[in-house]
Amino acid sequence: EHRETFDAELADARSIARLKDERGIYNDVWATGIMRKAILAAGRQLVEDGLLSDSENLIEADWAEMQSLLRGVMSVTDAELADRRVERMSLTWRDAPARLGPPLTTPPPIEGLPPEVERLYKALEIVEKSIRPPAMSEDAPDLTGTAASKGTYEGRARVAVGDYRFDQIDQGDVLVTSTHSEAFNAVAGRVGAIVTDTGGILSHLSIVSRELGIPCVVACKNATTVIPEGAMVRVDGNSGAVTILG
């Protein structure tokens, strides 16, 4: 009796399914780019007014500081903004703390909870352990990460960090990157395997790799710094091992 309603809702779900992955590109990333252009335009005006030496320094100001500068009030100096920019550009995600807030405390024992709740907590613990990045040595010759999509593949590494050009990635290359971004959807279909510094089995590129049926190893920690651009590598999505062949 609800077939008509079901069919209508199914059609709606199918029509917007692509937005799950592409929303970040068309909303978040796009909006960030528009905001950056606006800030740089304001920065150029401040350079003309003699308040800043570089329009990009305005990016380092907070909202209140931007408003003050545009009113001609030096709530922050050009030198201070330049120092912030130097510091920001020198940092990477590796410099971020493992967590924010107070230290974790030991959780209370789950014994004594209702059986259904205790079983749920045990299941969550199993999942948490399965996606936890493994400990590894910085100078390990072969990288070890979390196996996120099964299969073994050998190919040329393309280390996509910073402003890397996607047109440098050819059919069958191995994508090596630091984070999981929807932007890599543009090249995921033509790579033979994916290796990342961060992430878990539920991260974006992990899911995409399983959908495409290509090997993927995530949470290698330092793959983008250890694997040279253009090196031949073997990616074992069954064991989580990445071997540099030369």
**Same-domain check for residues 85 and 161:** no
CB 243 within 8 A of CB 142: yes
CA gap 138, 197 in Å, rounded: 12
Number of domains in the chain: 2
* CATH number of residue 180's parent domain: 3.50.30.10
**Same-domain check for residues 59 and 151:** no
**Same-domain check for residues 148 and 87:** no
CA gap 209, 216 in Å, rounded: 6
Instruction: Reply yes or no on whether the pLDDT at 154 is more than 90.
Output: yes
Instruction: Reply yes or no on whether the pLDDT at 211 is more than 50.
Output: yes
**Same-domain check for residues 148 and 240:** yes
Considering the domain boundaries, does residue 182 fall inside one?
Answer: yes
Q: What is the pLDDT of residue 110?
A: 83
Using CA atoms, how far residue 26 sits from 12, 17, 21, 33, 182, in Å, is 19, 14, 10, 11, 10
**Same-domain check for residues 163 and 240:** yes
**Same-domain check for residues 152 and 85:** no
Residue owning tokens 């550009």: 89
Considering the domain boundaries, does residue 177 fall inside one?
Answer: yes
Band of residue 139 on the pLDDT scale cut at 50, 70, 90: very low
- State which residues form the domain around 83: 3-91
**Same-domain check for residues 239 and 149:** yes
211: which residues sit within 8 A by CB, 6+ positions away?
none
189: which residues sit within 8 A by CB, 6+ positions away?
212
Last residue of a domain, one of 69, 91, 113: 91
Considering the domain boundaries, does residue 211 fall inside one?
Answer: yes
Considering the domain boundaries, does residue 132 fall inside one?
Answer: no
**Same-domain check for residues 153 and 234:** yes
231 phi and psi angles, rounded to 5 deg: -70, 150
Considering the domain boundaries, does residue 112 fall inside one?
Answer: no
Last residue of a domain, one of 60, 91, 122: 91
Please give the structure tokens belonging to residue 216: 């993927």
Band of residue 111 on the pLDDT scale cut at 50, 70, 90: confident
Considering the domain boundaries, does residue 38 fall inside one?
Answer: yes
